[in-house]
Amino acid sequence: MYRKDEKEECCYNYKKKQQQAAIASIFSYKHMKRVYPVGLYRSSSSSLSSLSSNSSSLSLTLSQNSNDDSSLTDHSTSSSSPLDHKVSLALRLIAPPRQRRREQNSPTVPPRPVGVHDHDHDHDQDGDGGGEPRRCNWITKNSDKAYVAFHDECWGVPVYEDNQLFELLSLCGMLMDYNWTEILKRKELIRKAFGGFDPNVVAKMDENQIMDIISDKALSLVECRVRCIVDNAKCILKIVREFGSLSGYMWAYMNHKPTVNKFRHPRNVPLRSPKAEAMSKDLLKRGFRFVGPVIVYSFMQAAGLTIDHLVDCFRYKECVAHAERPWRHM
């Protein structure tokens, strides 16, 4: 007589052979040719009905298995189940009982919703999702802190004080040699070297003072740029005598009110404007240097004569609110 464990092993091998024979009848070349790809759902065609009948016979053959297996076979014979479920069921039924239990008990991970990507989540965090405020697109995570602070506090805010206008005009002229980040990191040193950009002080600088600024390695300013700032200060004094102030002269081109644009993309922001070209042309006639239309328009953006923050930037509404205040420009 066989021992009890040997008898159970023989029964298990016999059932396994029956299962494999039933699966082989389902996965014949004839049926696989019709069913492939597996993602197709059940239809009323003869090929699919034959597969359903074979699957039903497989369920009857395996009805003596565990309750888990019988529940799976009942699900496979339902008329509304897709064919890929039937195929996956058949593959699971030929696996050993321990492996089937492990697959059934393993937790299922819900798939990622269609169209949702990691960068969408990051975009929400950077925007209105409770993280950093949404800024203009040219401000990135790698932008320098000085550049970000300039965008958040100064750029686009209307300026009406002569010294500040002179400073911004001079800094924008340096964009021909440096970028905003390099300029802003040395802004305090430059401001101190030029006496707070007081036109009366800068216009009186002698040759020794000019050479001291040029030789200062911390400033790293080109000689022509330094002399240009001194010459422009002398031109500003002439404008003050004629118009009363530099602010009154420049804001007259804007009809004493900032131009509020509604750009949504960086590609929409221009490099110049008709008003910038008109101001540049007149400044050149008055003896100013390095005041081309592109530099002048950059100055207008920084000084708030034109508001070019993108409409989805958090600074847009704040700068517009500044622009709508009843300022006295004259």
Which runs of consecutive H residues, i.e. helices, occur in 2-63?
4-26, 29-35, 46-61
322 labelled ligand-binding: no
154 labelled ligand-binding: no
Q: Long-range contacts made by residues 207-212, C-beta under 8 angstroms, separation at least 24?
A: none
- Angstrom distance (rounded) from CA 26 to CA 28: 6
228 labelled ligand-binding: no
313 labelled ligand-binding: yes
CA 178 to each of CA 124, 153, 170, 181, 217: distance values in angstroms, whole numbers, following the listed order: 33, 21, 12, 8, 15
Q: Burial level of 266, CB count in 10 A (0-12/13-18/19+)? A: exposed
> What b-and-e string marks burial along 98-134, b requiring 16 or more CB atoms within 10 Å of the CB?
eebeeeeeeeeeeeeeeeeeeeeeeeeeeeeeeeeeb
Q: Which residues pair with 306 in a beta bridge?
A: 259
Residue ranges of the annotated binding site for Zn(2+) are: 136, 151, 309, 313
Question: Which residues are known binding-site members?
Answer: 136, 151, 309, 313
